[in-house]
């Protein structure tokens, strides 16, 4: 039952992409985009209660995954189809959601000692097969939800580990700092979800920062799309250039910051700036990102000095401070973090 509070809704798909498809796509693509936009708007107006905690199942260091199927309806959480410890289901979306939620849990536990979204063993609730031809994935304040995509432009959203990790990380951000989902704080919210999403992918694959592709959502695009992914942390603005989707609008420098009222003040657009800062800091160092820069970003995100409305500059200052604290005042890590924010124009 909905309450009077506004729901948390953090969708993976940038609204400007769906808006463009709703105008430029084929008849079916337009219909799918419009249905997705309508469903997303509906969820923004609803509240979701947190999942019930089962003390008997809560074991630190072990995830409590519960994967449901919406069976192409829009009811959550849907039908329970796979629980923690059960064998593979055989449904690709079910098993991908289970695997990538587990991989994300392991990353947070093994790297940061964090026990799930709330650091208290919160169950990881995932729903797949949401709606029909639904072109999005989202965190609603209580669980992760994944669409199957329209099949023309986008594949199922469980196919990309960084997408699953991105949505789970929105829950982490909500619990730790609750960054307001608008303007620079909202773009920072999106960037942090991208940062830890892509580092989860690198951690799972054992990739160094230099080996990684730094792409977000590459596995989602079908062969019909002219592009590599939905976002590039290495080179914001170059992920796609397609007749239907349009051209990737993300800036990689503050001089190109986009002032807009759409998308809560461009949260999916301007996130390219802090995304590139993280990329630059990571590749400047020889260690894997989860050892070098991710702990700095994580500490800054959890710092009490970070307010719900913090902008890029405030977060940058905290990362520099934590890099110095973790690695030393004149360390390579501290210089790399400071240089990265300067290169993207957040620090002068």
Give the C-alpha distances (Å, rounded to integers) separating 116 from 16, 86, 126, 140, 200: 31, 19, 14, 16, 14
Question: What average pLDDT score do residues 323-332 get?
Answer: 96
Q: Which of 9, 10, 21 is nearest to 240 (CA)?
A: 21
125-134 pLDDT, tens digit each: 999 999 999 9
90 beta partners:
none
pLDDT confidence of residue 108: 98
Q: Give dist(CA 212, CA 238) in Å, integer.
A: 16
Label residue 203 exposed, middle or buried (CB < 10 Å: 0-12, 13-18, 19+): buried
Active site residue 253: no
65 beta partners:
124
Main-chain dihedrals φ then ψ at residue 266, nearest 5 degrees:
75, 40
Main-chain dihedrals φ then ψ at residue 264, nearest 5 degrees:
55, 40
As a whole number of Å, the CA-based R_g of the chain is 19
Query: Measured in Å, how far apart are the chain's first and last C-alpha atoms?
Result: 49
Number of Cβ atoms within 10 Å of the Cβ of 293: 29
Sign of CA dihedral 117, 167, 100, 275: negative
**pLDDT over threshold 50, residue 214:** yes
**Strands 10-11, 79-83: pairing kind:** unpaired
Q: CATH number of 183-343: 3.50.50.60, 1.10.390.10, 3.10.129.10, 3.40.50.720?
A: 1.10.390.10
34-45 pLDDT, tens digit each: 999 999 887 655
Catalytic residue among 68, 166, 268, 327: 268
pLDDT confidence of residue 1: 26
Label residue 6 exposed, middle or buried (CB < 10 Å: 0-12, 13-18, 19+): exposed
pLDDT confidence of residue 260: 96
Catalytic residue among 167, 174, 190, 333: 167
94 near 73, Cβ under 8 Å? no
- CATH class of the region 10-176: alpha beta
Question: What average pLDDT score do residues 291-303 get?
Answer: 98
Under the banding of pLDDT at 50, 70 and 90, the label for residue 6 is very low
130-178 pLDDT, tens digit each: 999 999 999 998 999 999 999 999 999 999 999 999 999 999 999 999 9
Distance of CA 311 to the CA centre of its chain: 18
Q: What is the mean pLDDT of the chain?
A: 94
Q: Give dist(CA 219, CA 198) in Å, integer.
A: 13
**pLDDT over threshold 60, residue 7:** no
pLDDT confidence of residue 42: 75
pLDDT confidence of residue 49: 61
Share of the chain above pLDDT 90, in %: 90
Task: Provide the residue count of the chain.
Answer: 348
Question: What average pLDDT score do residues 195-205 get?
Answer: 98
**pLDDT over threshold 50, residue 3:** no
| 284 Cβ contact list (under 8 Å, min separation 6) | 332, 336, 339, 340
Share of the chain above pLDDT 70, in %: 94
Q: Give dist(CA 14, CA 291) in Å, integer.
A: 30
Active site residue 268: yes
3-state class (DSSP) for residue 137: strand
- Domain positions in the chain: 10-176, 183-343
Give the C-alpha distances (Å, rounded to integers) separating 68 from 37, 266, 288, 324: 22, 32, 34, 44
More confident residue, 47 or 301: 301
Question: What average pLDDT score do residues 213-232 get?
Answer: 98
Q: Can you spell out the DSSP letters for 237-287?
A: T-SBEETTTEE----SSGGGPPP-SSHHHHTTTTTHHHHHHHHHHHHTSSS
45-83 pLDDT, tens digit each: 555 566 666 666 778 899 999 999 999 999 999 999 999
């Amino acid at each position: 039952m909905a309450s009077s509070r506004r729901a948390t809704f953090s969708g993976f798909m940038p609204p400007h992409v769906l808006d463009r498809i709703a105008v430029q796509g084929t008849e079916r693509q337009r219909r799918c985009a419009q249905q997705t936009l309508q469903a997303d708007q509906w969820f923004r107006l609803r509240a979701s209660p947190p999942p019930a905690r089962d003390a008997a199942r809560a074991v630190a260091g072990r995830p409590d995954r519960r994967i449901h199927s919406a069976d192409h309806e829009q009811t959550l959480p849907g039908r329970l189809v796979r629980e923690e410890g059960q064998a593979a289901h055989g449904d690709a979306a079910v098993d991908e959601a289970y695997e990538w939620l587990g991989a994300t849990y392991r990353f947070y536990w093994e790297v940061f000692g964090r026990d799930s979204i709330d650091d208290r063993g919160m169950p990881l609730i995932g729903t797949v097969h949401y709606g029909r031809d639904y072109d999005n994935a989202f965190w609603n304040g209580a669980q992760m939800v994944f669409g199957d995509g329209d099949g023309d432009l986008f594949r199922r959203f469980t196919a990309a580990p960084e997408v699953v990790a991105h949505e789970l990380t929105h829950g982490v951000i909500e619990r730790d700092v609750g960054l307001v989902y608008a303007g620079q704080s909202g773009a920072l919210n999106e960037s942090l979800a991208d940062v830890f999403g892509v580092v989860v992918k690198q951690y799972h694959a054992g990739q160094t920062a230099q080996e990684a592709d730094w792409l977000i959502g590459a596995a989602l695009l079908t062969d019909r799309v002219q592009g590599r992914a939905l976002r590039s942390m290495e080179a914001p603005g170059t992920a796609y250039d397609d007749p239907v989707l349009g051209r990737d609008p993300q800036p990689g420098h503050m001089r190109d910051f986009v002032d807009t009222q759409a998308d809560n003040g461009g949260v999916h657009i301007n996130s390219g700036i802090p995304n590139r800062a993280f990329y630059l800091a990571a590749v400047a160092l020889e260690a894997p990102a989860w050892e070098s820069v991710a702990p700095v970003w994580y500490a800054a995100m959890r710092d009490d000095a970070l307010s719900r409305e913090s902008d890029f500059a405030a977060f940058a200052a905290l990362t520099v401070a934590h890099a110095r604290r973790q690695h030393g005042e004149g360390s390579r890590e501290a210089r790399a973090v400071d240089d990265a924010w300067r290169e993207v124009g957040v620090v002068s």
